[in-house]
């Protein structure tokens, strides 16, 4: 039997009773699906899944009709030996789409997210599309946790609700950078070698070279090496690094922001840089605030510093807005120009109030 398993509470396998399993749908599973009462419009489901449970004849007809196509990948979700729901992968109007449904008594345990991640490991094709009623926030969040990005709203027909609804459309591309933090407008994800074109542009922007420095990145190969030897190596060594900042609305890469541990500094420091078209709109402040919150609340770092060129007034103002205080002038190496060092956290002054940030 084709089966895959993941622990619902994390990556470690602690036994069958706590594991999420996927296996091919069997006839007895259909009986379990159809015996359930109808769910409200906001149920945890995504995509063009079968009609309301409880409508037995229509439901069976759908499973043995459109879903009987061998081109439709169908998996049952099992948790603690019980059938918790199912996942589908099918072609819809020329696009490969995923859909899922989860029983109400299994909500709120991370099962849908774990199951969808497992399912996506079995599917090599990209892009993959998904959609959900705009009011179905739980399911939209599950999709986003698995790397999907919103790209639009459309009016569509809900077979389950039997009416037209406004749906959020999402897309999963080949890039599946792990989301570390999210804010109202932004995702902060781990940088990958495939982000080299963006890094090549960012590091060669005149403002980057003037205010931060020339990193000597001139080709895509240079950019890939920068990512692997810098951020990726830092993730492995310290558990943090610089992250790609993306728009939650469009998925567009806007800049990078995160933490660095330099040999020349005793403390961990925060760094950020954005493309010119995204400056002056509060994105850097939003991203930096999220990183500070993560550093203090999740990583347990009591103190964070920041270094900035004396003439970089926009960055100095931003640091002051999010609670940093100027401490002294420093040099990162002998003969290097003096730069300003700011500090935030314990022993500096009361921590600057920060909004809620979702740390993954």
* Proportion of the chain above pLDDT 90, given as a percent: 49
State residue 60's pLDDT score.
Answer: 67
**Rg value, the chain, Cα:** 24
Domains by residue range for the chain, with CATH: 3-172 (3.40.630.30), 179-359 (3.40.630.30)
State residue 176's pLDDT score.
Answer: 58
State residue 260's pLDDT score.
Answer: 97
pLDDT beyond 90 at 346: no
User: Mind listing the pLDDT tens digit for each residue in 217-228?
Assistant: 999 999 999 999
Output 291 or 136, whichever has higher pLDDT.
Answer: 291
Measured CA to CA, the distance from residue 36 to residue 24 in angstroms comes to 20
Nearest to 140 by CA among 112, 109, 103, 111: 112
Measured CA to CA, the distance from residue 178 to residue 189 in angstroms comes to 5
Model confidence at 345, in pLDDT bands (50, 70, 90)? confident
Q: At what angle do helices 111-121 and 137-145 cross, to 10 degrees?
A: 40
User: Mind listing the pLDDT tens digit for each residue in 303-340?
Assistant: 999 999 999 999 999 999 999 999 999 999 998 899 99
Three-state DSSP at 127 gives: coil
State residue 323's pLDDT score.
Answer: 93
DSSP state of 70: T
User: Mind listing the pLDDT tens digit for each residue in 233-284?
Assistant: 999 999 999 999 998 777 788 999 999 999 999 999 999 999 999 999 999 9
User: Mind listing the pLDDT tens digit for each residue in 86-101?
Assistant: 999 998 888 999 999 8
């Amino acid at each position: 039997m084709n089966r895959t398993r993941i622990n619902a509470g994390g990556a470690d396998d602690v036994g069958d009773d706590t594991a999420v399993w996927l296996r091919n749908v069997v006839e007895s599973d259909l009986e379990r699906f159809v015996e359930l009462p109808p769910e409200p419009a906001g149920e945890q489901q995504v995509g063009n899944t079968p009609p309301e449970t409880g409508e037995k004849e229509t439901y069976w007809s759908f499973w043995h009709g459109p879903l009987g196509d061998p081109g439709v990948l169908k998996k049952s979700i099992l948790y603690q030996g019980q059938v918790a729901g199912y996942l589908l992968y099918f072609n819809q109007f020329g696009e490969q789409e995923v859909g899922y449904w989860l029983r109400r008594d299994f909500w709120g345990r991370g099962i849908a997210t774990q199951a969808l991640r497992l399912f996506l490991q079995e599917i090599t094709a990209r892009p993959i599309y998904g959609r959900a009623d705009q009011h179905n926030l739980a399911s939209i969040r599950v999709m986003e946790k698995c790397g999907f990005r919103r790209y639009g709203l459309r009016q569509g027909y809900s077979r389950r609700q039997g009416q037209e609804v406004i749906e959020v459309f999402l897309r999963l591309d080949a890039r599946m950078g792990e989301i570390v933090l999210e804010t109202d407008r932004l995702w902060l994800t781990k940088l990958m070698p495939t982000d080299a074109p963006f890094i090549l542009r960012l590091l060669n922007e005149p403002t980057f070279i003037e205010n931060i420095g020339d990193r000597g990145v001139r080709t895509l190969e240079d950019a890939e090496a920068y990512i692997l030897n810098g951020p990726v190596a830092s993730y492995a060594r310290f558990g943090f690094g610089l992250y790609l900042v993306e728009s939650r609305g469009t998925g567009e890469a806007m800049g990078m922001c995160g933490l660095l541990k330099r040999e020349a500094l005793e403390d961990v420091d925060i760094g950020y840089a954005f493309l010119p078209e995204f400056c002056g709109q509060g994105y850097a402040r939003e991203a930096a605030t999220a990183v500070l919150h993560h550093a203090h609340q999740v990583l347990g770092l009591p103190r964070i510093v920041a270094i900035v060129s004396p003439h970089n007034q926009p960055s100095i103002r931003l640091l002051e807005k999010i609670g940093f205080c100027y401490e002294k002038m420093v040099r990162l190496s002998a003969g290097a120009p003096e730069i300003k060092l700011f500090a935030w956290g314990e022993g500096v002054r009361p921590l600057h109030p920060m909004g809620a940030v979702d740390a993954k």
